[in-house]
Amino acid sequence: MEITTAMQSKVLIHALPYIQKYANKTVVIKYGGNAMTDAQLKNDVMNDLVLLTLVGIKVVLVHGGGPEITDLLTRMGKESRFVGGLRYTDAETAEVAQMVLAGKINKSLVSLLQQHKGKAIGLCGIDGNMFQVKKHIAQEDLGFVGDVVSVNTHPIEMALENGYIPVISTVGADEAGNIYNINADTAAAQIAAALGSENLIVMTDIKGLLRDKNDDSTLIPFVQVSEVPYLIRQGIISGGMIPKVECCVEAVRRGVKKAVIIDGRIPHSILVEIFSDEGIGTMFQ
């Protein structure tokens, strides 16, 4: 594919105002799915994040890691148990989550960003009392599953002001020192809101919100948060999409300029989302 001078100038003329718009703005990225397991996509994402910082965007990376928790529990001969889609988390499981998320995945992402010439710092909700946590209340007791009551943004801002990408594991502690595992989508939305970030980008393994789940050509590019209840009643937003969309709604309601669900399987989807007119995936505003 040949790229002509005219094409270059056209892309640049469209991109430059976005670059200026995002300069010194904060973008929170919830990282997960294929983009976190496929080696090539993973490298592309790290590369894109470093590029974003090069043009002055403040990037915050929030990650999950369910499959790897299951894996270590298995290696320790312990079975994973799920209740209504959520992992039942006894004290030993919470400790394993802490080790896998804050010890393994977090520091390995920091290392990978640095291999791509970025600067990064790995933090979790415990560091600098970042998350105030309380036990998540559900119909059935889920053990040490936590909700974020509020976010102390100081440790994140300190990292950003010093030129680091903060990489955040969603593990937290209550005042008595009990460790809790926390849903990463929800935590990312709360971090985005607390930071007054410009943008929340949730990476998934789907095209975006589809009018017909089986037809990628029915992508809904833009949703007003006020339309969401109607779309849920219509069944267009359903199942596992509901909590993801609710995170987006929550973020926008609390001042984030836009929240987007994008398809992490498309190479460089973050870059195109930020620097083009159309964007990709579904944007909530």
Residues in 34-73 that interact with a copy of itself by CB under 8 A: 47, 51, 54-56, 72
Instruction: Rule CB under 8 A: choose which of 28, 126, 156, 192 binds a copy of itself.
Output: 126
* Beta strands at 26-31 and 199-204: parallel, antiparallel or unpaired: parallel
How many helices, marked H, and strands, marked E, lie in the chain? 11, 14
Say which amino acid occupies 105: I
Instruction: Rule CB under 8 A: choose which of 49, 61, 124, 192 binds a copy of itself.
Output: 124
Question: Does position 76 bind a copy of itself by CB under 8 A?
Answer: yes
Binding residues among 130-159 for a copy of itself as defined by CB under 8 A: 154-155, 158-159
Nearer to a copy of itself, 14 or 81 (CB): 14
Binding residues among 249-278 for a copy of itself as defined by CB under 8 A: 266-268, 271-272, 275-276
Q: Residue 103's CB: how many other CB atoms inside 10 A?
A: 14
Q: Beta partners for 59? A: 27
Nearer to a copy of itself, 108 or 150 (CB): 108
Identify the three-state secondary structure at position 10: helix
Instruction: Rule CB under 8 A: choose which of 83, 99, 220, 232 binds a copy of itself.
Output: 99
- CA 61-62-63 angle, to 5 degrees, is 115
**Ranges of H-type helices in 122-211:** 154-161, 184-195
Nearer to a copy of itself, 66 or 128 (CB): 128
Binding residues among 9-38 for a copy of itself as defined by CB under 8 A: 9-13, 15-17, 19-20, 23
b/e sequence 143-165, b meaning 16+ C-beta within 10 Å = bbbbbbeebebebbbebbeeebb
Instruction: Rule CB under 8 A: choose which of 39, 77, 79, 233 binds a copy of itself.
Output: 77
| CA–CA separation, 109 and 268 (whole Å) | 17
| CA–CA separation, 17 and 280 (whole Å) | 18
**Any idea what DSSP says for residue 101?**
I
> Chain centroid to CA 281: how far?
15
Specify the stretch interacting with a copy of itself by CB under 8 A; choose among 107-115, 193-201, 209-217, 233-241: 107-115
**If you search the block for the tokens 């320790």, which residue do you land on?**
76
Work out how close the CB of 222 gets to a copy of itself at its nearest, in angstroms, rounded to a whole number: 17
Work out how close the CB of 156 gets to a copy of itself at its nearest, in angstroms, rounded to a whole number: 11
Instruction: Rule CB under 8 A: choose which of 37, 43, 115, 234 binds a copy of itself.
Output: 115
Work out how close the CB of 119 gets to a copy of itself at its nearest, in angstroms, rounded to a whole number: 6
CA distances from 228 to 39, 126, 159, 273 (A): 35, 33, 35, 22
Nearer to a copy of itself, 31 or 131 (CB): 131
Specify the stretch interacting with a copy of itself by CB under 8 A; choose among 168-176, 207-215, 227-235, 238-246: 168-176
Question: Does position 179 bind a copy of itself by CB under 8 A?
Answer: yes
Q: CA gyration radius for the chain?
A: 19
Work out how close the CB of 243 gets to a copy of itself at its nearest, in angstroms, rounded to a whole number: 26
Nearer to a copy of itself, 83 or 220 (CB): 220
